[in-house]
Chain A
Amino acid sequence: DIVMTQSPDSLAVSLGERATINCKSSQSVLYSSYNKNSIAWYQQKPGQPPKLLIYWASTRESGVPDRFSGSGSGTDFTLTISSLQAEDVAVYYCQQYYYIPETFGQGTKVEIK
């Protein structure tokens, strides 16, 4: 299985400040036909199912605020929240969807400082 490792496990950021979450895959997840990386990011708020934020490592899902952005290539990827809002308090997960099983990272909890 591909192992997805997120860092940090948790972080506390002041309102309006930047939050950065890292995700490392144990193998390349480059979909060569598209020249895109098969990485998605999800947001899960307490008591709710996950919500897709980003796919192909950097494509924002429709309706997702532009303060959320994804980047990276090879085996290292990043989710950035440019200006943290109160409603962004949640756990964030990366996922690779290139190999079956399509594994998730362990999650990063984002809180307000």
Chain B
Amino acid sequence: EVQLVQSEAELKKPGESLKISCEGSGYTFTSYWIGWVRQMPGKGLEWMGIIYPSDSDARYSPSFQGQVTISADKSISTAYLQWSSLKASDTAMYYCARQNNGYDSPFDAWGQGTLVTVSS
């Protein structure tokens, strides 16, 4: 069974750094792109970017380029989303998801989500 398990909820202060994780299992982690999707409270889904764990090729939405960094460690089947300096506006649920056949394909498996709260 394909599973994506995300790290636990985080409560951080503005200006702090953060790295959240997404561990894949039940499939060959290096053969599928992994994406990150933001959902702000009460709002819709926003595509942030994707990474191919085999070679760490990453693509970003212009809206998120420079604001976050997407990375992966194929040795432990884990993808990451990180911030160097959080803002209150980064408060949201973040989902990782697997693309089922190349980067131009839908997300067929999703993590449970990581809630990030940024508040002073």
Whether B47 lies near A102 (C-beta < 8 A) is yes
Contact count A vs B, C-beta below 8 Å: 65
Whether B106 lies near A97 (C-beta < 8 A) is yes
Q: Which of B49-65 contact A (CB under 8 A)?
A: 49-50, 59-63
Majority DSSP secondary structure for residues of A touching B:
loop
Given contacts A49-B112, A50-B107, A61-B108, contact A101 B63 (CB under 8 A): yes
Q: How many B residues, CB 8 Å from partner? A: 27
Contacts of B60 in A (CB 8 A): 101
Q: How far is the CB of B76 from chain A (nearest CB, A)?
A: 22
Q: How many A residues, CB 8 Å from partner? A: 25
Give 28 A-B contacts (CB < 8 Å), ordered by A residue: A38-B104, A40-B106, A40-B107, A42-B107, A44-B45, A49-B97, A49-B110, A49-B112, A49-B113, A50-B37, A50-B97, A55-B100, A55-B105, A91-B44, A93-B44, A95-B106, A95-B107, A97-B99, A97-B106, A98-B104, A100-B50, A101-B47, A101-B62, A102-B47, A102-B50, A102-B104, A103-B47, A105-B44
